[in-house]
Amino acid sequence: MQEQRHQQRLPQERSQSTATKVARTLAELQEEYLDQNHNWPWIVGYSGGKDSTLLLQLVFEVLLNLPADKRTRPVHVLSNDTLVESPILASFVRRMVDRIRNAANAFGLPVVVKVTTPAVDQTFWVNLIGRGYPPPNRMFRWCTDRLKIRPTSDYILSRVSDSGQVILLLGVRRSESAVRAASVDRYTPADGSRLNPHNSLKGCQVYRPIVDFTTEEVWELLLQRTPPWGGSHRELVTLYRNAQGGECPLVIDSDQSPSCGTSSSRFGCWTCTVVEKDKSMQGFIDAGFEHLEPLMYFRDWLFAIRNDRSRRMRTRRNGLVTLMKNGSHVPGPFTLEVRREILDRLLKLQNEVGLELISKEEIEMIKKIWSEDLLREAARVLETLNNKNRF
């Protein structure tokens, strides 16, 4: 009986604790925003997932509760599109970004919304089809840096160049995982201050306002609070339920890259071959998005051919052969024939699903790289022949 009374008190105690956390977080956000010692811009990382959504909601609430003459610090909402996002997630984030931008304009908030994308010569398809990079795996995860870290880092550093310093607000939480908790503790200032220098971006201070919130508290708050940009968070709940997992967050350094392509079910890039099976895509298909099934089969095919040595060149792109300690060679990029095959299949897939999966600019860049590769290979053959003739 005593145990039962204790269990009945838990929801109320948790609710009070959550309310206290929210009040404290809002007060700290406002205090930090109104800090007179500097006017460094805020950059709020937004991935479209639950944690970054809650963080952005709290930032909006702080701004809306301030008089117009106190809203002097610019706030940048920074999102990243890898150009190979899950179509369901990409569509959702685009809608949310438009709502956020429109709401900021309607309320007269000093908010700039920016969606970064990889440079055309560094997109997923340009590297895989153009340069022949094998699909990413845990040992060679070349995608995170090119598709996520570089675009977001470049934007942050451009703001640092304009203002001298920036404050990056991230929706990371200790309770996400043991790895996340260790990372948070490692970078938490010993003096108890809210800001700490980013470990690789000079001039960038990191602020983690919701670090102590639990997953249950995040969902509780999202379901209780109406987003300032309109609608409700029910669509976000449905997105998670259909995907059977969580989001790949905004990534700004290599320490965070394990969040991408872990063994857990996360929705992110539909091309992700770091995981053995894409459970999130399967979840969307099971939830009624059957038109995405050909994308899953294409991704599975990329996964299957990744280590097929008959499809890979013997030399690396620099013309050298890399040998392992046992004497066997490390295969190089896909052959040009295989790259052509992947492009042909991708274009057929694009027509089949009725979605733009690769842009014309990417195709042009791919063909440019192919031409350069052919010229380079011809030059190597000619040099080899000339060397033989000398002797």
Q: What is the CATH number of the domain that holds 18?
A: 3.40.50.620
139 & 181 share domain: yes
Predicted confidence (pLDDT) at residue 294 exceeds the cutoff of 90: yes
Report the pLDDT value the prediction gives residue 117, as an integer from 0 to 100: 98
Q: What does the pLDDT read at residue 265?
A: 45
Instruction: Say how far apart CA 181 and CA 173 lie, in whole Å.
Output: 7
One domain, residues 216 and 347: no
Q: Give the per-residue pLDDT at 350.
A: 97
pLDDT of 188: 63
C-alpha closest to that of 135 among 381, 331, 355 = 331
pLDDT in tens, 21-58: 999 999 999 999 999 999 999 999 999 999 999 999 99
> Dihedral sign, CA of 28, 18, 246, 56?
negative
Per-residue pLDDT band at 341 (split at 50, 70, 90):
very high
Write down the pLDDT at residue 7. Answer: 37
353 with 364: CB under 8 angstroms?
A: no
The yes-or-no verdict on residue 108 having pLDDT over 60 is: yes
**347-365: per-residue pLDDT in tens?**
999 999 999 999 999 999 9
257 and 160 belong to one structural domain? yes
| Rounded CA Rg of the chain | 24
Asked if residue 129 lies in contact with residue 342, where contact means CB atoms within 8 angstroms, the answer is yes
Are the C-beta atoms of 217 and 21 separated by less than 8 Å?
yes
Alpha helix locations (H) across the chain? 2-33, 50-64, 87-107, 124-125, 142-143, 150-163, 178-187, 215-224, 234-243, 279-286, 293-305, 336-353, 360-390
User: Is position 375 within any domain?
Assistant: yes
Q: What is the pLDDT of residue 105?
A: 97
Same-domain pairing of 324 and 189 = no
Query: Structural domain of residue 308, as residue ranges?
Result: 293-390
Examine the fold and report which residue of 264, 283, 310 is the final residue of a domain before the chain moves on: 264
User: Which of 128, 156, 188 has the alpha carbon at shortest distance from 338?
Assistant: 128
pLDDT (tens digit per residue) in 323-339:
666 767 778 999 999 99
Asked whether the predicted pLDDT for residue 261 surpasses 80, the reply is no
What pLDDT does 329 receive?
73
Q: Identify whether 275 is part of a domain.
A: no
Does residue 298 sit in the same domain as residue 337? yes
Whether residue 220 sits in one domain with residue 150? yes
pTM of the model: 0.86
Q: Do 155 and 103 reside in the same domain of the chain?
A: yes
**CA-based torsion, 23, 28, 34, 36: positive or negative:** positive
User: pLDDT tier at 391 (50, 70, 90 boundaries)?
Assistant: low
Number of CB atoms found within 10 A of residue 170's CB: 23
Same domain, 366 and 256: no
**Per-residue pLDDT for 159 more than 90?**
yes
Q: How confident is the model at residue 243 (pLDDT cuts 50, 70, 90)?
A: confident
- Decide if pLDDT at 312 tops 90: yes
